[in-house]
Structure 1
Amino acid sequence: MSDDVYERLREAIVTGELRPGERLRDHELADALGTSKTPVRHALDRLAELGLVDMQRNRFTRVAPIDLDDVRDAIALFGDVWIGSVRHATPLMGDDDVTYLSELLEDMTSAVDASDVAAFSAALRTIAVAYARIEGNATRSNVIEFLGPQIRRFSAQARGDFDFAALRSSTAGIGLAMTQRDAVGTRAALITLFDTVLPAVIDRAEERSRHVDVPPADA
């Protein structure tokens, strides 16, 4: 029950159904989810570990704001983990692995062509996890899974800030090098994605946030 409540709340926060700053009351969530308060509290503890909720001792719990510095760090770490995995996984790849990764890359390409940010983020995570599993490195896989919700959440809130032409070019570069089992080329393409293309999305989101009219506190 706690796992189900956790997954439902996590998804609601990641997709923006529960907005940053929104208060989360145990009894209201329990009623809405058809459960007791205990699984809700367990779920909120886990969400706090991911940085998706802020829990104020003896006060209230709220959906955490999106901190762009934290998002930068998460994307940089995600990229470092994946890039590190490429060097170890590529020599181990068999034909079946390349076929599977190519299928996953097709999903990512389709998401970019459809300008579907949610699908792109999901495909990115799936391919990175696949590399970690080929390498046989559970730690890398766990780190990627841990970072996934925070990155997906930002992506859902910043759909208009993505440069899909740049994503398309990066995806093509990753795919070409990957199918050729070119570790150096794959790492270079990933470095471009994680050091240039995705940080630029955050820069645009940050610039946009500066121009959003904020009502006065007493409005």
Structure 2
Amino acid sequence: MSDEAYTRLQDAIISGELLPGERLRDYELAERLGTSKTPIRHALDRLADHGLVEMQRNRYTRVAPIDLEQVRNAVDLFGDVWIGSVRHVMPRLQDDDIAALSALTDEMSSSVTSRDVAAFGLGMRGIATEFARIEGNVTRATIIERLGPQIRRFSQHARDAFDWDGAAAFASEMREAVRQRDAAKTRAALVALFDDVLPAIIDRAEAEGLAVIDEERAGAVASSTAD
């Protein structure tokens, strides 16, 4: 039950259903999800470990604000972890690995066509996780799982700043590099994504005044989008 509670709460936070800064009360969440308070508490502990929830004992538990400096750090580490796997993974690629990675990059390309930020983020996590699986590196997989939600949540709240041309180029270059088993091209595609495309999105979000997104700002953004 705690895994299900974790997944549902994570999805609600990433999508903005639960806003940055919003107070979280275990009894309310238990009623909302139709479960007891114990799995809710376990889920909140995991979400706090992944940077999506803030907890102060005897004071509050709330959805963590989106801090762009923390997002930058998450992007940097995510990129380092993924790029570091390339030299280990590419020599090991089997035909079924290439088929799996090709399918994931095709899904990512579809997310670009449909302008689906959430699907693009899930695609990025899926490909990175597949690299870790092929390498057999549990540590990389764990780090990817911890950092991915922070990056995906930021992307959801900064959709207007998203670089779809850069995302399309990454999906195309990654697909071709994997099919060719080309480590240099794979690394170049990842470096472009993590050193250029994603940092530029964060910079544009900051220029638009989204340095820290809390409940008040998130509500204002949602209202302006609805208008």
Q: Counterpart in 2 of 1:168?
A: 168
Q: Counterpart in 2 of 1:11?
A: 11
Matches of 1:120 and 1:104, distance apart in 2: 10
Residue 67, structure 1, aligned to residue 70, structure 2: no
Matches of 1:11 and 1:91, distance apart in 2: 35
- The amino acid of 2:24's aligned partner reads L
Distance 1:200 1:28, change over 3 A: same
Matches of 1:17 and 1:137, distance apart in 2: 33
Matches of 1:28 and 1:182, distance apart in 2: 51
User: Scaled by the length of structure 2, what TM-score is found?
Assistant: 0.89
Q: Which has the larger radius of gyration?
A: 1
Q: Counterpart in 1 of 2:77?
A: 77
Higher relative contact order (CA 8 A, sep 6+): 2
Structure 1 residue 206 displacement after superposition: 0.9
Q: Counterpart in 1 of 2:122?
A: 122
Structure 1 residue 136 displacement after superposition: 1.3
Q: Counterpart in 2 of 1:57?
A: 57
Q: Secondary structure of the residue that 2:209 maps to in structure 1?
A: helix
Distance 1:38 1:99, change over 3 A: closer
Contact in 1 for aligned 2:205/2:211 (Cα 8 Å): no
Contact in 1 for aligned 2:67/2:211 (Cα 8 Å): no
- The amino acid of 2:200's aligned partner reads A
Distance 1:211 1:121, change over 3 A: closer
Matches of 1:3 and 1:171, distance apart in 2: 30
Matches of 1:211 and 1:142, distance apart in 2: 27
Q: Could you list the per-position Cα deviations for residues 169-200 of structure 1 after superposition, in whole angstroms to 9, with x for gaps in the alignment? A: 22222222221111011101110111000110
Q: Could you list the per-position Cα deviations for residues 94-129 of structure 1 after superposition, in whole angstroms to 9, with x for gaps in the alignment? A: 122112211111011111111111110001110111
Q: Secondary structure of the residue that 1:22 maps to in structure 2?
A: coil
User: Scaled by the length of structure 1, what TM-score is found?
Assistant: 0.92
Q: Secondary structure of the residue that 2:181 maps to in structure 1?
A: coil
- Give 5+ residue unaligned stretches, structure 1: none
Matches of 1:209 and 1:128, distance apart in 2: 30
Moved over 6 A (4+): none
- Give 5+ residue unaligned stretches, structure 2: 217-227
Matches of 2:134 and 2:106, distance apart in 1: 19
Structure 1 residue 201 displacement after superposition: 0.6
Count residues with an aligned counterpart: 214
Structure 1 residue 37 displacement after superposition: 2.1
Q: Counterpart in 1 of 2:224?
A: none
Residue 103, structure 1, aligned to residue 103, structure 2: yes
Matches of 1:209 and 1:81, distance apart in 2: 29
Q: Counterpart in 2 of 1:35?
A: 35
Contact in 1 for aligned 2:68/2:211 (Cα 8 Å): no
- The amino acid of 2:171's aligned partner reads T
Distance 1:99 1:36, change over 3 A: closer
Q: Secondary structure of the residue that 2:115 maps to in structure 1?
A: coil
Contact in 1 for aligned 2:74/2:147 (Cα 8 Å): yes
Structure 1 residue 141 displacement after superposition: 1.1
Contact in 1 for aligned 2:173/2:189 (Cα 8 Å): yes
Matches of 1:210 and 1:156, distance apart in 2: 13
Q: Could you list the per-position Cα deviations for residues 39-91 of structure 1 after superposition, in whole angstroms to 9, with x for gaps in the alignment? A: 22222111111111111221111111001111111111111111111110000
